Amino acid sequence: MSDILSEIRARRTYYDLTNKTTVPDTALEQMLQETLRYTPSAFNMQSARMVLLLDQKHTALWEETLRILKDMTPEAAFEKTKAKIDAFKNAYATVLFYNDDRVVASYAESYPLYRDNFAIWAEQGAGMLQSNVWMVLESKGLGASLQHYNPLIDAFAGRLAGVPESWRLIAQMPFGVPASEPGEKSFLPIEERFKTVR
């Protein structure tokens, strides 16, 4: 599996994960740093931020997420919620994706002509980063999923990760060596979604 198209095809959502990794923590850190460094951003503003939660911090994130959800989930549905969150907790680690709103605001101020676009571009840049991280993890035999418990967990996650107030949580990506493969995925006819014109 060497070419980029194969990596794009291979990326899937993995919920069934183990607390094992194929890549040691230091290499993992470097890999994520490089992905963050080289993912593009509008005006090269580099507003995306990432936190790698390992060990106790990873576990604490999902334990607290479950506690928060317990208060808001009907009792009948809670068992299902707990199974889902426990699966994330049983993974190896979690990447938190943030955008630094202070950076976005400063670009909006500096470039009034494009003022309203920077927040949109920052979200698009965050999406590119998430996709790149997802594929890089997949390329190393690590399965991941993309979660959105923000804004419910923002305050807690911010304290846990020790991030500045201006960092806004965008997504959470628990990952680890997969315990099983995801099921078949369906695709719309590509002709409905793509055309070539000349």
Ligand X SMILES: Cc1cc2nc3c(=O)[nH]c(=O)nc-3n(C[C@H](O)[C@H](O)[C@H](O)COP(=O)(O)O)c2cc1C
What is the DSSP code (8-state) at residue 78? H
Residue 99 Cβ vs ligand X, minimum distance, rounded to whole Å = 14
Backbone angles phi, psi at 131, to 5 degrees: -65, -45
Instruction: Closer to ligand X by CB, 47 or 172: give it.
Output: 172
Shortest Å distance, C-beta 43 to ligand X? 22
Give the residue with the Cβ less far from ligand X, 185 or 198. Answer: 185
The order of strands in the sheet holding 93-100 is 48-53, 93-100, 167-176, 143-144
Give the closest residue to 94 by CA, choosing from 34, 164, 147.
147
User: Smallest distance, Å, CB 4 to ligand X?
Assistant: 16
What residues form DSSP beta bridges with 23? none
Which residues of the shown chain bind ligand X in the complex (CB under 6 A)? Answer: 12-13, 145-148, 182, 185
Tokens of 126: 């965050």
Q: How far is the CB of 177 from ligand X (least distance, A)?
A: 17
- Minimal distance, residue 149 CB to ligand X, in Å: 8
Q: Which is nearer to ligand X, 94 or 108 (CB)?
A: 94
The nearer residue to ligand X, 37 or 185, going by C-beta atoms, is: 185
Task: Decide whether 49 or 108 has the Cβ nearer to ligand X.
Answer: 49
> What is the Cα 50 distance to its own chain's centre?
9
Q: Which residue is nearest to ligand X (CB)?
A: 13
Task: Give the list of residues 6+ apart from residue 150 with CB closer than 8 angstroms, or none.
Answer: 157, 169, 170, 171, 172
